[in-house]
């Protein structure tokens, strides 16, 4: 068995690609336009996964855009997406400089959280940091500084 992708539904393709690609650094590897179903699927991969993702050999984020507007509510059971970065402070600073709120700042140098334009929670982990939190993390709070 292989993990293939996580799908999230998005309300605005341009806003989502600006956030996930321009700001967050993911790259589009595949797009499917379905006229009959009236939806678009856009597969995004992180730079470290790009070559493999292009061969369908690495996990992707699948954005689903339904052409006919829908309200996406509930989904409390969904937690977050997680990406590893080389320099969490520089990464978060770039996001903040471009208007993204760092909901959970990287005070500990390990972990930060932001949200996508659709409110999807995204965990940012420092490369090499321990994945086992020493204590329950503080709840996410909106702040612009750390
Ligand atoms: C390509 C493969 O990775 C898919 O996920 S296709 C699955 C399919 N997606 C859609 O029909 C997209 C439009 C639909 N209105 C939606 O919002 O999902 C599907 O079966 N989706 C149902 C689901 O619950 O994911
Ligand atoms: Ni899918």
pLDDT of residue 144: 41
Residue-level pLDDT at 74: 77
| 33 annotated active-site | no
Q: What would the pLDDT profile of 54-79 be if each residue is shown by its tens digit?
A: 998 999 999 999 999 888 987 777 89
- The structure's pTM equals 0.87
> ipTM for the complex?
0.96
How far, in Å, from the CA of 75 to the mean position of ligand 1?
16
Asked if residue 138 has pLDDT above 90, the reply is no
For residues 121 and 83, give the distance between their C-alpha atoms in angstroms, rounded to a whole number: 11
Q: Which residues line ligand 1 (CB under 6 A)?
A: 7, 9, 37, 39, 41, 62, 64, 66
Q: Report whether 106 contacts 88 (CB < 8 A).
A: yes
Atom of ligand 1 nearest to the CA of 4: 3
Determine the Cα–Cα distance for residues 12 and 7; give it in Å rounded to an integer.
Answer: 15
Of residues 5 and 145, more confidence is placed in 5
pLDDT above 70 as % of the chain = 89
121-126 and 39-45 strand pairing: unpaired
């Amino acid at each position: 068995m292989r993990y293939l992708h996580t799908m999230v539904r998005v309300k605005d393709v341009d806003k989502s690609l600006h956030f996930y690609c321009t700001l967050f650094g993911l790259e589009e590897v595949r797009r499917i336009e379905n006229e009959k179903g009236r939806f678009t699927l856009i597969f995004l991969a992180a730079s470290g996964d790009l070559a493999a993702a292009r061969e369908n050999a690495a996990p992707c984020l699948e954005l689903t855009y339904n052409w006919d507007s829908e309200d996406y509510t509930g989904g409390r059971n969904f937690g977050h997406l997680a990406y590893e970065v080389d320099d969490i402070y520089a990464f978060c600073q770039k996001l903040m400089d471009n208007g993204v709120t760092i909901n959970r700042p990287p005070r500990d140098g390990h972990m930060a959280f932001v949200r996508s334009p659709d409110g999807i929670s995204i965990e940012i982990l420092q490369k090499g940091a321990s994945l086992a939190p020493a204590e329950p993390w503080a709840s996410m709070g909106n702040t612009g500084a750390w």
